[in-house]
Amino acid sequence: MTVYSFTVVIEPDEQGFHACVPALPGCHTFANTVDEARTNILKALELHLQSMLEDGEPVPVEREPVFITRLSMPVAVL
């Protein structure tokens, strides 16, 4: 059995939380809480990878290290 590791982003949205896997476009989910988002994205990830493997698609491997940061950008209001 191969174990894959992916970066998951969980962020608040207008109705709760959105979770996505940036390395796998289309692999995302929505939830009311962070814990629910974690549970949902694990299931979405499992289904996404299963589909890729069944279709003979290569599973991308994320390179280390992953660096996530927040940047501030001043923007003039017109």
Written as one string, the DSSP assignment of 33-61 is SHHHHHHHHHHHHHHHHHHHHHTTPPPP-
Tokens representing 41 are 């994205």
| All domains of the chain in start order, with CATH | 1-78 (3.30.160.250)
pLDDT digit string (tens) for 11-52? Answer: 999 999 999 999 999 999 999 999 999 999 999 999 999 999
CB atoms closer than 10 angstroms to residue 60:
12
| pLDDT score recorded for residue 66 | 80
| Burial zone of 19 (CB within 10 Å; 0-12 exposed, 13-18 middle, 19+ buried) | buried
pLDDT band at 74; cut points 50, 70, 90 = very high
More confident residue, 52 or 63: 52
More confident residue, 66 or 43: 43
pTM for this entry: 0.83
Half-sphere exposure of 6 (CA within 13 A, CB side): 23
